[in-house]
Amino acid sequence: MSKYGKYLAWLIPVFLVWVIYANTFFSSIFTGRENFSWLVILFHTIIYLLIWAFVSWFISRRKKKAKPLTIWFFFVLVFGSALFFLLTYIAHKQYLIVTTPQNDSISIVHIIVSISKGILIGIVLVAIQYYLNFQSQWRAASLKAANLEKENSKAQLHALQSQVNPHFLFNNLNTLQSLIDDKNEAAQNFLIELSDLYRNLLKTSQNEVVLLEDEISSSEKFNYLMKQRFGENYNCEYKIDETEIKSKFLPPFSIQMLLENAVKHNRIDDSYPLHCKVYKEGKFLVIENNLQERKASYPSNNIGLENLRSRYSILSNQEIEVYKDKDVFKVKIPLLSIKQYD
C-alpha cells in the first residue's frame, strides 16, 4: 500500500460509523425528531478509530516478527476489539449514570448487546485490515518477482561474460577438444571443466536460488580453471559441514562471483600468491582472501557486489556484509533456509 493509501485507510472506520448511523441521521431530518446526536457520532468515531489503530498495531508487530496472519489471530483481534468496545461502553455508561441521575444502570442485556456489537464491528474492521495487508503482500511479491528476474538476468550476463551463443560455444569447445592431442591430459581436462562450468551456468541462470552443494560444486570447477592459470599461486580452501550443504540455499553464482572479484582485484604471482577461504560462520557463508590489491588502470564499479546485494534484498530481509583491512578482504553472505523455498 502506498503512503497516501495508508492515510486514506483511516477513513474506513469513519465511513463505517456513518453507514451505521445514516438511518438515524436521515430519519431525524425527515421526521423532525431529535433522535440524532453529533456527540454520539463523535464518540463512536473515536472508538472505531481506536479499534482500527489497535488492530493495525498488532498486525504490524506480527509482520515484523515474520509471523503469518492466521485465522486464530484474526479471532484474537476480533475478541480484543469487542472487549475494548465493551470497556469503553461501560465507562461511558457509568459517566452518564453519574452525570444524569435518570439514566438506567448497566444491565446484563446492555453488556450482551455491547459485546455483540463489538464483535460485529471487530469482524468488519479486522477483515478489512487483513484484506489490505494481503493485497499489499501480493503487490510486494509481484514486484519482488519482477525485480528478481531482472537481477538474475544481470547475474547471468556477469557470470557468462560473453555474448557468444552458448550452443555455438559448446560446439566449438567440443571441436577444440577433438583437435587436442589425447596425450595432452591437462588441456583435455581444462576443456572438460570449462564446458561443465558453462553448462552449470546455463542450467541455473533462471533459478532464484540454488543449493549450497551445487554452488560449491560449480565454484570448484572455477577454482580448477584458476589453478591451471596461476598454478600454486592460487589456492581456495573449503571448510563447510557436509550436513549444511544439502539444506541451505544461495543465489546462483554467488561464490564464483566473489572468487572472480578476488582474482580480478588482487595481484597474483610467485611473490604474491592468492589464498581464498570459503567457510561457514553462524548463519553466513564467508568468502575470504588475503588482500594484495593490484593497481588497476580503471576504477572498480563493484557491479558484482551490488548485484549480489540487490538479489538478497529481493530474496530476504538479510544483507551481505563486507569487511576490509590492510591484510584481509571478506564478504559474508546469508545462508537462506530451505523452508523459504520448499
Torsion of CA 103, 105, 107, 110, to 10 degrees: 40
Instruction: Determine the average pLDDT of the residues in 124-138.
Output: 80
Instruction: Determine the average pLDDT of the residues in 290-313.
Output: 76
Instruction: Determine the average pLDDT of the residues in 94-115.
Output: 66
Contacts of 340 (CB under 8 A, 6+ apart): 249, 315, 316
pLDDT of residue 204: 67
Instruction: Give the confidence band of 8 by pLDDT, cuts at 50, 70, 90.
Output: low
Instruction: Determine the average pLDDT of the residues in 330-338.
Output: 89
| Residue 140 pLDDT exceeds 70 | yes
Instruction: Give the confidence band of 277 by pLDDT, cuts at 50, 70, 90.
Output: very high
Amino acid (one-letter) located at 206: Q
> How buried is residue 44: exposed, middle or buried, by Cβ count under 10 Å (0-12/13-18/19+)?
buried
More confident residue, 228 or 101: 228
| Residue 1 pLDDT exceeds 60 | no
Given a contact cutoff of 8 angstroms between Cβ atoms, the answer to whether 155 and 204 are in contact is no
pLDDT of residue 342: 44
Exposure b/e, 73-82, CB count within 10 A at least 16 = b = bbeebbebbb
| Residue 15 pLDDT exceeds 60 | yes
Mean of per-residue pLDDT scores for the chain: 76
- DSSP sequence for 256-278: HHHHHHHHHHB--SSSS-EEEEE
For the stretch 172-212, pLDDT in tens is 566 666 666 666 777 777 777 777 776 766 666 667 888 89
Given a contact cutoff of 8 angstroms between Cβ atoms, the answer to whether 233 and 268 are in contact is yes
Exposure b/e, 160-199, CB count within 10 A at least 16 = b = beeeeeeeebeeeeeeebeeeeeeeeebeebbebbbebbe
User: Where are any strands of DSSP class E within 203-283?
Assistant: 210-211, 234-239, 248-250, 274-281
Instruction: Give the confidence band of 100 by pLDDT, cuts at 50, 70, 90.
Output: low
| Residue 135 pLDDT exceeds 70 | yes
Given a contact cutoff of 8 angstroms between Cβ atoms, the answer to whether 265 and 300 are in contact is yes
Q: Where are the domains positioned within the chain?
A: 3-146, 147-340
Q: Report how far residue 30's alpha carbon sits from residue 196's, in angstroms, rounded to the nearest whole number.
A: 84
| Residue 320 pLDDT exceeds 80 | yes
Strands of the sheet with 210-211, listed across from one edge: 210-211, 248-250, 336-337
Per CATH, is 147-340 categorized as 2.30.30.60? no
Instruction: Determine the average pLDDT of the residues in 46-75.
Output: 78
| Residue 314 pLDDT exceeds 70 | yes
Q: Report how far residue 11's alpha carbon sits from residue 17's, in angstroms, rounded to the nearest whole number.
A: 10
Instruction: Give the confidence band of 102 by pLDDT, cuts at 50, 70, 90.
Output: low
For the stretch 239-266, pLDDT in tens is 988 777 778 899 888 998 899 899 989 9
